[in-house]
């Protein structure tokens, strides 16, 4: 069925500039902490990285265009892009150059704007991207299969709206291997996009601060009508490296 936007000659991306999900909301340090990515790594994705060449120092182009450049500020949708890159980059330690070429190939061939935000990543676009990516880094067939599994695990942490835009992210609780649990959520429309316990919408940083102030997990669980395990999940997320 054709969506009402198309009746007026509009595309969902026409709405991006006024959408709260595409407004500056996170510093690089905040985004890196929320996604459990090294700050220097995230900075290289957003700003690029200098490197030496025979003719002198050159600057690589960024993989993510931040919502604001000076100073760099990321939007909720930038968080999603970084979350996807985390799967493609940090799980395999592949060079930025090869990843940039793979993403460029997929965007050019599939004609999808902002590929890393696209719901199509869950279907044919993601399959083609990974096949091209695997070819560029010369992964074995079994290596590509493992990479697809990791990539799909990351995509399963994102909720999409009817226009196939990301609306909620369930970040990993730590930098350790992922689990199926999704206790923490980031939603641009809840708590100004700060991480919260998905069950009640309580900001995780608030819980960690109250624990650090000497309150017990049992007391907080009673206050928020949560289990002590929920409280521990919030603390784990906030204090994970």
- Please name the residues in contact with 181: beta carbons below 8 A apart, sequence gap of 6 or more: 173, 233
The pLDDT of 118-134, averaged and rounded, is 60
The pLDDT of 161-185, averaged and rounded, is 80
**pLDDT band (50, 70, 90) for residue 144:** low
> Given a cut of 70, is residue 112 above it in pLDDT?
no
**pLDDT band (50, 70, 90) for residue 1:** very low
- 236 within some domain: no
Q: What is the largest CA-CA distance in the chain?
A: 64
Please report how the helices 76-89 and 141-155 are oriented relative to each other, as an axis angle in degrees rounded to 10. 160
3-state percent helix, strand, coil for the chain, nearest multiple of 5: 55, 10, 35
Contact 17, 66 (CB under 8 A): no
- 228 within some domain: no
- Highest averaged pLDDT of the listed ranges 15-24, 36-45, 183-192: 183-192
Of 142, 130, 29, the residue nearest 84 (C-alpha): 130
> Given a cut of 50, is residue 132 above it in pLDDT?
yes
- 56 within some domain: yes
- Confidence (pLDDT) at 228: 95
Q: Strand pairing of 196-197 and 184-185?
A: antiparallel
- Confidence (pLDDT) at 137: 53
Of 99, 121, 107, 92, the residue nearest 44 (C-alpha): 99
Looking at residue 193, the DSSP 8-state letter turns out to be G
Domain that holds residue 39: 4-194
Query: Please, what is the average pLDDT of the chain?
Result: 79
The pLDDT of 6-27, averaged and rounded, is 68
* Residue 48, helix vs strand vs coil: coil
> Given a cut of 70, is residue 2 above it in pLDDT?
no
Please report how the helices 39-47 and 76-89 are oriented relative to each other, as an axis angle in degrees rounded to 10. 110
- Confidence (pLDDT) at 172: 86
Looking at residue 23, the DSSP 8-state letter turns out to be S
- Highest averaged pLDDT of the listed ranges 88-92, 152-156, 222-226: 222-226
Token pair for 100: 């940039």
- 240 within some domain: no
- Confidence (pLDDT) at 3: 46
Of 45, 89, 85, the residue nearest 65 (C-alpha): 45
The pLDDT of 149-164, averaged and rounded, is 80
- Confidence (pLDDT) at 10: 46
- 224 within some domain: no
Per the model's pLDDT, the better-predicted residue between 15 and 71 turns out to be 71
- 232 within some domain: no
Contact 176, 184 (CB under 8 A): no
- Distance (Å, whole) CA 108 – CA 112: 8
Domain count, the chain: 1
- Confidence (pLDDT) at 194: 96
* Residue 160, helix vs strand vs coil: strand
- Confidence (pLDDT) at 7: 44
> Given a cut of 50, is residue 135 above it in pLDDT?
yes
Of 57, 54, 49, the residue nearest 95 (C-alpha): 49
> Given a cut of 70, is residue 77 above it in pLDDT?
yes
- Confidence (pLDDT) at 60: 75
Of 143, 165, 236, the residue nearest 21 (C-alpha): 165
**pLDDT band (50, 70, 90) for residue 8:** very low
- Confidence (pLDDT) at 116: 75
- 67 within some domain: yes
- Distance (Å, whole) CA 95 – CA 151: 17
**pLDDT band (50, 70, 90) for residue 5:** very low
- 215 within some domain: no
């Amino acid at each position: 069925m054709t969506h009402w936007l198309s009746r007026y000659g509009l595309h969902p991306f026409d709405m991006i500039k006024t959408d709260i999900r595409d407004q500056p909301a996170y510093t690089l340090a905040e985004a890196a902490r929320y996604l459990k990515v090294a700050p220097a790594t995230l900075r290289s994705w957003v700003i690029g990285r200098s490197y030496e060449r025979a003719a002198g120092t050159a600057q690589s182009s960024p993989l993510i265009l931040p919502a604001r450049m000076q100073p760099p500020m990321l939007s909720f949708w930038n968080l999603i892009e970084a979350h996807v890159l985390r799967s493609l980059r940090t799980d395999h330690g592949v060079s930025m150059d090869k990843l940039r070429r793979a993403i460029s190939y997929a965007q050019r061939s599939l004609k999808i704007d902002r590929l890393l935000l696209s719901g199509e990543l869950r279907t044919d676009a993601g399959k083609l991207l990974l096949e091209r990516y695997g070819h560029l880094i010369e992964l074995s067939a079994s290596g590509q299969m493992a990479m697809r599994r990791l990539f799909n695990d990351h995509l399963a942490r994102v909720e999409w709206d009817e226009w196939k835009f990301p609306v909620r992210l369930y970040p990993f609780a730590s930098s350790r291997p992922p689990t199926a649990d999704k206790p923490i959520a980031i939603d641009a429309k809840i708590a100004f996009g700060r991480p919260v316990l998905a069950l009640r919408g309580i900001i995780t940083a608030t819980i960690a601060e109250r624990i650090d102030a000497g309150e017990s997990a049992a007391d907080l669980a009673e206050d928020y009508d949560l289990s002590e395990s929920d409280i521990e999940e919030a603390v784990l997320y906030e204090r994970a490296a």
